[in-house]
Protein backbone atom coordinates (compact mmCIF):
# COMPACT_ATOMS: atom_id res chain seq x y z
CA UNK A 1 0.00 0.00 0.00
CA UNK A 2 2.86 2.40 0.74
CA UNK A 3 4.42 2.02 -2.72
CA UNK A 4 1.02 2.53 -4.35
CA UNK A 5 0.36 5.63 -2.26
CA UNK A 6 3.79 7.07 -3.12
CA UNK A 7 3.00 6.59 -6.81
CA UNK A 8 -0.49 8.06 -6.41
CA UNK A 9 0.88 11.18 -4.70
CA UNK A 10 3.71 11.53 -7.18
CA UNK A 11 1.35 11.22 -10.16
CA UNK A 12 -1.06 13.70 -8.56
CA UNK A 13 -3.91 11.22 -8.70
CA UNK A 14 -4.83 12.75 -5.34
CA UNK A 15 -4.93 16.54 -5.52
CA UNK A 16 -6.15 18.12 -2.29
CA UNK A 17 -3.35 18.54 0.24
CA UNK A 18 -5.54 17.44 3.15
CA UNK A 19 -6.55 14.28 1.28
CA UNK A 20 -2.89 13.61 0.45
CA UNK A 21 -1.95 13.94 4.13
CA UNK A 22 -4.70 11.55 5.21
CA UNK A 23 -3.88 8.94 2.55
CA UNK A 24 -0.19 9.06 3.39
CA UNK A 25 -0.93 8.64 7.09
CA UNK A 26 -3.22 5.68 6.39
CA UNK A 27 -0.54 4.07 4.21
CA UNK A 28 1.77 3.75 7.22
CA UNK A 29 -0.68 1.29 8.79
CA UNK A 30 0.72 -1.24 6.34
CA UNK A 31 3.84 -1.42 8.52
CA UNK A 32 1.83 -2.58 11.53
CA UNK A 33 0.93 -5.78 9.63
CA UNK A 34 4.56 -6.69 8.99
CA UNK A 35 6.93 -8.63 11.23
CA UNK A 36 10.07 -7.01 12.70
CA UNK A 37 12.70 -8.67 14.91
CA UNK A 38 13.38 -5.57 17.02
CA UNK A 39 11.95 -2.16 17.86
CA UNK A 40 14.95 -0.58 16.16
CA UNK A 41 14.15 -2.38 12.91
CA UNK A 42 10.55 -1.23 13.09
CA UNK A 43 11.49 2.41 13.77
CA UNK A 44 13.96 2.39 10.88
CA UNK A 45 11.27 1.04 8.57
CA UNK A 46 8.79 3.63 9.81
CA UNK A 47 11.24 6.46 9.20
CA UNK A 48 12.32 5.14 5.79
CA UNK A 49 8.78 4.67 4.50
CA UNK A 50 7.66 8.01 5.86
CA UNK A 51 10.57 9.66 4.02
CA UNK A 52 9.46 7.96 0.80
CA UNK A 53 5.96 9.34 1.22
CA UNK A 54 7.30 12.85 1.87
CA UNK A 55 9.59 12.69 -1.16
CA UNK A 56 6.59 11.86 -3.33
CA UNK A 57 5.63 15.53 -3.11
CA UNK A 58 8.25 17.77 -1.48
CA UNK A 59 6.00 20.83 -1.75
CA UNK A 60 3.08 19.57 0.36
CA UNK A 61 3.42 21.17 3.79
CA UNK A 62 0.58 19.10 5.27
CA UNK A 63 2.15 15.89 4.04
CA UNK A 64 5.49 16.75 5.63
CA UNK A 65 4.18 17.99 8.97
CA UNK A 66 1.80 15.07 9.51
CA UNK A 67 4.40 12.46 8.57
CA UNK A 68 6.96 14.01 10.91
CA UNK A 69 4.32 14.11 13.64
CA UNK A 70 3.62 10.38 13.32
CA UNK A 71 7.27 9.34 13.25
CA UNK A 72 8.29 11.64 16.10
CA UNK A 73 5.36 10.55 18.27
CA UNK A 74 6.38 6.90 18.01
CA UNK A 75 10.14 7.46 18.27
CA UNK A 76 9.97 9.92 21.17
CA UNK A 77 7.87 7.49 23.20
CA UNK A 78 10.74 4.97 23.14
CA UNK A 79 8.48 1.89 22.97
CA UNK A 80 9.72 -1.22 24.77
CA UNK A 81 8.73 -3.68 22.06
CA UNK A 82 7.46 -3.92 18.49
CA UNK A 83 3.86 -4.45 19.55
CA UNK A 84 3.92 -1.23 21.58
CA UNK A 85 5.51 0.63 18.68
CA UNK A 86 2.77 -0.57 16.33
CA UNK A 87 0.07 0.47 18.78
CA UNK A 88 1.63 3.93 19.08
CA UNK A 89 1.76 4.17 15.29
CA UNK A 90 -1.93 3.42 14.92
CA UNK A 91 -2.80 5.92 17.64
CA UNK A 92 -0.64 8.61 16.02
CA UNK A 93 -2.22 7.94 12.61
CA UNK A 94 -5.71 8.23 14.12
CA UNK A 95 -4.76 11.51 15.80
CA UNK A 96 -3.33 12.95 12.58
CA UNK A 97 -6.36 11.97 10.49
CA UNK A 98 -8.76 13.40 13.07
CA UNK A 99 -6.73 16.61 13.26
CA UNK A 100 -6.61 17.06 9.47
CA UNK A 101 -10.30 16.32 8.96
CA UNK A 102 -11.55 18.41 11.90
CA UNK A 103 -9.32 21.35 10.91
CA UNK A 104 -10.69 21.23 7.37
CA UNK A 105 -14.27 21.08 8.63
CA UNK A 106 -13.79 24.02 11.02
CA UNK A 107 -12.06 26.12 8.36
CA UNK A 108 -14.86 25.38 5.88
CA UNK A 109 -17.52 26.31 8.44
CA UNK A 110 -15.80 29.63 9.18
CA UNK A 111 -15.57 30.42 5.47
CA UNK A 112 -19.36 30.49 5.18
CA UNK A 113 -19.37 33.91 6.85
CA UNK A 114 -17.19 35.21 4.00
CA UNK A 115 -19.57 34.00 1.28
CA UNK A 116 -22.67 36.15 0.75
CA UNK A 117 -25.91 34.69 -0.59
CA UNK A 118 -26.05 34.64 -4.39
CA UNK A 119 -22.38 35.53 -4.69
CA UNK A 120 -20.64 34.91 -7.97
CA UNK A 121 -17.51 32.97 -7.06
CA UNK A 122 -14.41 32.04 -8.96
CA UNK A 123 -12.28 29.13 -7.81
CA UNK A 124 -9.13 27.50 -9.11
CA UNK A 125 -7.83 23.94 -8.91
CA UNK A 126 -9.48 21.27 -6.73
CA UNK A 127 -9.70 21.97 -3.01
CA UNK A 128 -11.68 19.69 -0.73
CA UNK A 129 -11.83 22.52 1.83
CA UNK A 130 -13.31 24.96 -0.68
CA UNK A 131 -15.80 22.29 -1.69
CA UNK A 132 -16.72 21.73 1.97
CA UNK A 133 -17.16 25.50 2.49
CA UNK A 134 -19.54 25.72 -0.46
CA UNK A 135 -21.42 22.66 0.83
CA UNK A 136 -21.78 24.28 4.27
CA UNK A 137 -23.01 27.51 2.67
CA UNK A 138 -25.56 25.63 0.56
CA UNK A 139 -26.79 23.85 3.68
CA UNK A 140 -27.21 27.28 5.29
CA UNK A 141 -29.49 28.29 2.43
CA UNK A 142 -27.08 30.09 0.11
CA UNK A 143 -26.89 29.65 -3.64
CA UNK A 144 -24.05 30.49 -6.00
CA UNK A 145 -22.87 30.98 -9.49
CA UNK A 146 -19.33 29.58 -9.68
CA UNK A 147 -16.67 29.94 -12.36
CA UNK A 148 -14.08 27.17 -12.19
CA UNK A 149 -10.80 27.30 -14.09
CA UNK A 150 -9.66 24.15 -15.85
CA UNK A 151 -6.38 24.36 -13.89
CA UNK A 152 -3.99 23.17 -16.55
CA UNK A 153 -2.02 21.11 -17.19
CA UNK A 154 -3.67 18.42 -15.08
CA UNK A 155 -7.16 19.91 -15.51
CA UNK A 156 -7.86 19.58 -11.80
CA UNK A 157 -10.63 22.14 -12.09
CA UNK A 158 -12.64 19.72 -14.17
CA UNK A 159 -12.95 17.46 -11.13
CA UNK A 160 -14.10 20.45 -9.05
CA UNK A 161 -16.65 21.33 -11.73
CA UNK A 162 -18.12 17.85 -11.74
CA UNK A 163 -18.47 17.87 -7.95
CA UNK A 164 -20.12 21.30 -7.94
CA UNK A 165 -22.46 20.42 -10.79
CA UNK A 166 -23.99 17.73 -8.56
CA UNK A 167 -24.96 20.34 -5.94
CA UNK A 168 -28.38 21.94 -5.88
CA UNK A 169 -28.09 25.71 -5.65
CA UNK A 170 -24.89 25.93 -7.70
CA UNK A 171 -24.75 27.18 -11.28
CA UNK A 172 -21.25 26.21 -12.38
CA UNK A 173 -19.30 27.26 -15.47
CA UNK A 174 -15.97 25.72 -16.46
CA UNK A 175 -13.56 28.22 -18.06
CA UNK A 176 -10.04 28.03 -19.45
CA UNK A 177 -7.37 29.44 -17.13
CA UNK A 178 -6.60 32.42 -19.36
CA UNK A 179 -10.28 33.52 -19.25
CA UNK A 180 -10.19 34.30 -15.51
CA UNK A 181 -9.41 37.96 -16.16
CA UNK A 182 -12.17 38.16 -18.76
CA UNK A 183 -14.82 36.99 -16.31
CA UNK A 184 -13.40 38.75 -13.23
CA UNK A 185 -15.68 41.85 -13.55
CA UNK A 186 -18.66 39.51 -13.01
CA UNK A 187 -17.14 37.92 -9.90
CA UNK A 188 -17.93 38.90 -6.30
CA UNK A 189 -15.20 36.83 -4.66
CA UNK A 190 -12.31 34.55 -5.53
CA UNK A 191 -12.30 31.52 -3.24
CA UNK A 192 -9.28 29.19 -3.32
CA UNK A 193 -7.53 26.65 -1.13
CA UNK A 194 -3.87 26.65 -0.20
CA UNK A 195 -0.89 24.40 -0.12
CA UNK A 196 0.81 26.55 2.51
CA UNK A 197 1.60 30.10 3.58
CA UNK A 198 5.23 30.81 4.43
CA UNK A 199 5.98 34.27 5.79
CA UNK A 200 4.24 36.67 3.37
CA UNK A 201 3.72 34.22 0.52
CA UNK A 202 0.86 31.93 -0.42
CA UNK A 203 1.95 28.83 -2.31
CA UNK A 204 -0.83 27.23 -4.27
CA UNK A 205 -1.52 25.53 -7.61
CA UNK A 206 0.09 27.25 -10.58
CA UNK A 207 -2.20 29.97 -11.91
CA UNK A 208 -3.25 31.32 -8.52
CA UNK A 209 -0.98 34.36 -8.75
CA UNK A 210 -2.38 35.75 -12.04
CA UNK A 211 -5.92 35.18 -10.77
CA UNK A 212 -5.15 37.11 -7.57
CA UNK A 213 -3.55 39.87 -9.63
CA UNK A 214 -6.60 40.14 -11.90
CA UNK A 215 -8.84 40.17 -8.84
CA UNK A 216 -6.87 43.02 -7.27
CA UNK A 217 -7.13 45.04 -10.48
CA UNK A 218 -10.92 44.57 -10.43
CA UNK A 219 -11.34 45.17 -6.67
CA UNK A 220 -12.54 41.59 -6.19
CA UNK A 221 -11.68 40.19 -2.75
CA UNK A 222 -9.63 37.00 -2.59
CA UNK A 223 -10.39 34.54 0.21
CA UNK A 224 -8.11 31.60 0.93
CA UNK A 225 -9.40 28.74 3.06
CA UNK A 226 -7.38 25.98 4.72
CA UNK A 227 -6.11 24.53 7.96
CA UNK A 228 -4.12 26.73 10.33
CA UNK A 229 -1.38 24.08 10.20
CA UNK A 230 -0.67 25.25 6.65
CA UNK A 231 0.82 28.42 8.09
CA UNK A 232 4.38 27.15 8.34
CA UNK A 233 7.64 28.66 9.55
CA UNK A 234 11.29 28.08 8.72
CA UNK A 235 11.03 24.43 9.76
CA UNK A 236 9.55 23.76 6.31
CA UNK A 237 11.32 25.05 3.20
CA UNK A 238 8.86 25.14 0.32
CA UNK A 239 10.24 23.35 -2.71
CA UNK A 240 8.34 23.83 -5.96
CA UNK A 241 7.71 20.71 -7.99
CA UNK A 242 8.71 20.79 -11.65
CA UNK A 243 6.56 18.19 -13.30
CA UNK A 244 6.95 16.20 -16.49
CA UNK A 245 6.79 18.10 -19.82
CA UNK A 246 4.51 15.31 -21.08
CA UNK A 247 1.68 16.83 -19.01
CA UNK A 248 1.89 19.90 -21.24
CA UNK A 249 2.73 18.35 -24.61
CA UNK A 250 2.49 14.67 -25.42
CA UNK A 251 4.90 14.67 -28.35
CA UNK A 252 8.62 15.36 -27.72
CA UNK A 253 9.71 19.00 -27.67
CA UNK A 254 11.78 19.60 -30.80
CA UNK A 255 13.97 22.71 -30.61
CA UNK A 256 12.31 24.19 -27.54
CA UNK A 257 11.91 23.62 -23.80
CA UNK A 258 8.79 23.00 -21.73
CA UNK A 259 8.46 24.43 -18.23
CA UNK A 260 5.83 22.83 -15.99
CA UNK A 261 5.96 24.11 -12.38
CA UNK A 262 3.22 22.77 -10.12
CA UNK A 263 2.83 25.84 -7.88
CA UNK A 264 3.27 29.59 -7.92
CA UNK A 265 3.85 32.21 -5.22
CA UNK A 266 1.20 34.83 -4.44
CA UNK A 267 2.14 37.74 -2.14
CA UNK A 268 -0.31 37.87 0.76
CA UNK A 269 -0.92 41.59 0.14
CA UNK A 270 -3.05 40.48 -2.82
CA UNK A 271 -5.32 38.54 -0.46
CA UNK A 272 -8.32 39.87 1.41
CA UNK A 273 -8.77 37.13 4.01
CA UNK A 274 -7.35 33.76 4.93
CA UNK A 275 -9.87 31.58 6.75
CA UNK A 276 -8.51 28.78 8.93
CA UNK A 277 -9.86 26.61 11.69
CA UNK A 278 -8.55 29.05 14.29
CA UNK A 279 -9.92 32.27 12.81
CA UNK A 280 -10.09 34.76 9.96
CA UNK A 281 -6.85 36.54 9.11
CA UNK A 282 -7.23 39.85 7.26
CA UNK A 283 -4.60 41.33 4.95
Q: Which residues form the catalytic set?
A: 195
Q: If we measure between CA atoms, which residue out of 275, 277, 278, 283 comes closest to residue 113?
A: 275
Residue ranges with strand state E in the chain:
120-123, 144-149, 170-175, 189-192, 196-198, 201-205, 222-225, 231-232, 263-267, 273-276, 279-282
Q: If we measure between CA atoms, which residue out of 241, 161, 259, 147 comes closest to residue 203?
A: 241
Cβ-based neighbours of 155, under 8 Å, separated by 6 or more: none
3-state secondary structure of 98: helix
3-state secondary structure of 174: strand
Question: Cα–Cα distance between 47 and 230 in angstroms, integer?
Answer: 22
Question: Cα–Cα distance between 34 and 30 in angstroms, integer?
Answer: 7
Q: If we measure between CA atoms, which residue out of 242, 122, 104 comes closest to residue 171?
A: 122
Amino acid sequence: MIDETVEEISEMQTHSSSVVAVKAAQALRDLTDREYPTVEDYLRSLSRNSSALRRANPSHASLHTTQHRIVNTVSDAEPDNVAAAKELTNEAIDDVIDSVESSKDRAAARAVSEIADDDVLLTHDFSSTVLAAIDDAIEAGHSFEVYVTESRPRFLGRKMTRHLSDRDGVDVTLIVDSAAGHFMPEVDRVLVGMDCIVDDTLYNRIGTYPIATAAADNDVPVTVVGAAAKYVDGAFAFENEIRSPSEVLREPADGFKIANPAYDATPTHLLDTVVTDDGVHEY
